[in-house]
Structure 1
Amino acid sequence: MTGHTEAQPFNVMIVGQGGRLQYEAILFALSLAATTRSDGIRLYVAEPQPGPLWPEDPRITDPEARALLDAHGARLLPFESRHFGARYPYGNKIEALLALPEGEPFVFFDTDTLVLDDLAKVPFDFSRPTASMKREGTWPQIELYGPGYTETWKALYDRFGLDFESSLDLRWPDEYWQRYLYFNAGFFFYDCPRRFGQRFLDYALSIRDDPPPELICQSLDPWLDQIALPLVIHSFGGGRDTLPAGLLDGAVTCHYRTLPLLYAREPDAVVGFLEEITAPNKIKKVLKQYEPIKRMVYQGRGQKARALFDRDDLPRREQAIRNKLKREGFWMR
Structure 2
Amino acid sequence: MAKTQTKNAPVGDFDIVAVGQGGRLQYEAVLLAASLKAKAPSFQGTLYIAEPQPGPLWTRDPSMRGDIKGALEELGAMILPFENTAFGESYPHGNKIEALCAMPEGRNFLFLDTDTLIVGDLGTLDTDFRRPAASMRRTGTWPEEELYWPGYTAVWKSLYDKFGLEFDSTLDLSQPDEYWERYLYFNAGWVTGHDAPAFGARWRDWAVDIRDNHPEELVLQSFDPWLDQIALPLVIHSFGGGRPGDDLAGLDGDLTCHYRMLPLLYAREGDAVVEALAEVAAPNKVKKWLKQYDPFKRMIYQERGLKVRDLFDQNDLPPRERQIRNTIKREGFWMR
| Fold similarity call, TM over 0.5 | yes
Q: Write the distance in 2 (CA, Å) between the matches of 1:16 and 1:308.
A: 32
Structure 1 match to 2:274: 271
Letter in 2 for 1:228: A
Structure 2 match to 1:109: 112
Structure 1: which 5+ runs fail to align? none
Q: Write the distance in 1 (CA, Å) between the matches of 2:247 and 2:130.
A: 15
Instruction: Give secondary structure in 2 for the equivalent of 1:114.
Output: strand
Equivalent position to 2:210, from 204, 207, 212: 207
Q: Write the distance in 1 (CA, Å) between the matches of 2:43 and 2:326.
A: 43
Instruction: Provide Cα deviations, 1:164-195, integer angstroms capped at 9, x if missing partner.
Output: 11110000010000000000000011111011
Residue 176 (structure 1) aligned with residue 179 (structure 2): yes
Residue 256 (structure 1) aligned with residue 259 (structure 2): yes
Letter in 1 for 2:231: A
Residue 38 (structure 1) aligned with residue 12 (structure 2): no
Structure 2 match to 1:9: 13
Q: Give yes or no for contact 2:12–2:126 (8 Å, CA) kept in 1.
A: no
Structure 1 match to 2:152: 149
Q: Write the distance in 2 (CA, Å) between the matches of 1:282 and 1:125.
A: 36
Q: Write the distance in 1 (CA, Å) between the matches of 2:289 and 2:148.
A: 53
Q: Write the distance in 2 (CA, Å) between the matches of 1:210 and 1:11.
A: 33
CA distance 1:204–1:264, shift in 2 (3 Å): same
What displacement does 1:67 show? 2.1
Letter in 2 for 1:247: G
What displacement does 1:272 show? 1.4
Structure 1 match to 2:4: none
Q: Give yes or no for contact 1:125–1:242 (8 Å, CA) kept in 2.
A: no
Q: Write the distance in 2 (CA, Å) between the matches of 1:224 and 1:78.
A: 23
Equivalent position to 2:29, from 13, 25, 28: 25
What displacement does 1:281 show? 2.1
CA distance 1:320–1:210, shift in 2 (3 Å): same
Instruction: Give secondary structure in 1 for the equivalent of 2:84.
Output: coil
Letter in 1 for 2:310: A
CA distance 1:308–1:8, shift in 2 (3 Å): closer
**TM-score with structure 2 setting the length:** 0.95
Instruction: Provide Cα deviations, 1:121-150, integer angstroms capped at 9, x if missing partner.
Output: 111211101000000001001112211000
Structure 1 match to 2:162: 159
Letter in 2 for 1:148: G
The percent of aligned pairs where both chains have the same amino acid is 61
How many residues align? The count is: 328
Q: Give yes or no for contact 1:151–1:214 (8 Å, CA) kept in 2.
A: yes
Structure 2: which 5+ runs fail to align? 1-8
Structure 1 match to 2:188: 185
What displacement does 1:29 show? 0.3
Q: Give yes or no for contact 1:125–1:243 (8 Å, CA) kept in 2.
A: no
**CA root-mean-square deviation:** 1.3
Q: Write the distance in 1 (CA, Å) between the matches of 2:119 and 2:296.
A: 18
Structure 2 match to 1:74: 77
**Of 245-254 and 225-234, the range deviating more from structure 2:** 245-254
Letter in 1 for 2:166: D
Q: Give yes or no for contact 2:43–2:123 (8 Å, CA) kept in 1.
A: no
Q: Give yes or no for contact 1:105–1:192 (8 Å, CA) kept in 2.
A: yes
Instruction: Provide Cα deviations, 1:90-141, integer angstroms capped at 9, x if missing partner.
Output: 0000011111001111110000001111112111211101000000001001
Instruction: Give secondary structure in 2 for the equivalent of 1:117.
Output: coil
Q: Give yes or no for contact 1:124–1:243 (8 Å, CA) kept in 2.
A: no
Q: Write the distance in 2 (CA, Å) between the matches of 1:189 and 1:155.
A: 25
What displacement does 1:31 show? 0.6
Instruction: Provide Cα deviations, 1:27-61, integer angstroms capped at 9, x if missing partner.
Output: 10011001222362210000000001111111111
Instruction: Give secondary structure in 1 for the equivalent of 2:62.
Output: coil
**TM-score with structure 1 setting the length:** 0.96
